[in-house]
Structure 1
Amino acid sequence: MTNERILAVCRSNWEYRGIDDASVREMLEELSAHLEDAEAAGRTPQDVVGDDVKAFAAAWARARAPLSRRIARMAAMALFVVGAVLLVRHLVTWSLTLSVGADDLAFWAVIATFTVVWEIRRGGLGLGRSWLVALAVGLPVAILTRVLGGDEILFSLPLWVAPLLLLPGLPYAVADGRARKSAPAEVN
């Protein structure tokens, strides 16, 4: 297996496991340096990573970001997305309170689920296909819920709830944004 292939397998594994973008880049740079040092010393890439590259990557991911930390990050990012959706709804309706029905809860549940799944799979919150898929599934679910469940108001949410939900995920969102801006050319 070539160094490039090893780096690609590790990148894929780390992104799948929810390691943040900055850490993935740092880990790839470190692994690339180790692989180059091994090559200069006449050793093979398997001497560095072993026979099972996926197991190597998984072990490093577990050491770098334990499950409890990844779950906390995912929960914070899910709250961040729900808070952002609420804030947009407040701005669109131009009101200080939102009436929440079953259709709203269904929509938010779909958005939060897609956010968590994307976080687990990718490791970063992007504004790409995942959001389009979430909206493409969330809107029909909300419409179907409204048709089947009616438009009864369950409760009202004041404006201050949206920023409160944004707070736990804000440090992660800012760190991911800064990491993307300061990212050098990707290591392949």
Structure 2
Amino acid sequence: MTTTDTTGHDRILAICRSNWEYRGIDDASLREMLQELEAHLQDAEAAGRTARDVVGEDVPAFAAAWARNRAPLHRRALRLAAMACWAVGFLLLLRHLIRWTTELTVDAGDLAFWGLVATVTVAWELKRGSLGLGRSWLLASVVGVPAALAVRFLAGDGVLFTLPLWAAPILLLPMLPYVVADTRAKKAQSAAR
């Protein structure tokens, strides 16, 4: 294998990884897809074909098509919904802990803040490919705080409803199967090496 081919393979794999992470492909499937693509690229090279013979001229279009076949929209939408619930649940739990209370009052500014923070966090983390406590929380807060203040100024700070402490853990639950599956896949991957 020449250096140029390896660099080309690495670039194709990097483009596909980025595309699949952006589309919310789970970690286990992403690793499996990358291994399969790498094997196809090596087989093509051994047969005297180029990497472009495998993926075509438009690598992002190839990656997008494979992602749609591998993880249909309804599966990706469910994962996205679970991520959004997790972000909101985490913020609620954090707010309960900061205020040291079992009931939170919610006004229009709170809804604007939570909605924007959840949206920015999920969008940022989908682009990265995982949900974590990275820079997305800072970015989301920078966007969410001014929006919450503006909404609170325009709509007032009247209480819309109250949320009990048990609501936050319930919102965290939908993400649990994805976390367990990703953790098991990582352990299986480590054991296979």
Query: Are residues 1:50 and 2:50 paired?
Result: no
Identify the match of residue 61 of structure 1 among 67, 84, 89: 67
Specify every segment of 5 or more residues in structure 1 that has no aligned partner in the other structure, as ranges: none
Query: Are residues 1:153 and 2:159 paired?
Result: yes
TM-score, length of structure 1 as denominator length: 0.87
Matches within 5 A, 1:72-151: 72-151=78-157
Residue 150 of structure 1: CA displacement? 2.2
C-alpha separation in 2, matches of 1:151 and 1:53: 50
CA contact (8 A) 1:124 1:176 kept: no
Residue 74 of structure 1: CA displacement? 0.5
Identify the match of residue 166 of structure 1 among 165, 168, 172: 172
The C-alpha deviation readout for 1:30-59, integer Å capped at 9, x for no partner, is 111111122122221122222322222111
C-alpha separation in 1, matches of 2:179 and 2:98: 23
Percent of aligned pairs sharing the same letter: 66
TM-score, length of structure 2 as denominator length: 0.85
Instruction: Report which structure shows greater RCO (CA 8 Å, sep ≥6).
Output: 1
What SS does the corresponding residue of 2:160 show, helix, strand or coil?
strand
Query: Over the residues paired in the alignment, what is the CA RMSD in angstroms?
Result: 2.1
Residue 77 of structure 1: CA displacement? 0.9
Specify every segment of 5 or more residues in structure 2 that has no aligned partner in the other structure, as ranges: none
Q: How many residue pairs were aligned?
A: 184
CA contact (8 A) 1:83 1:166 kept: yes
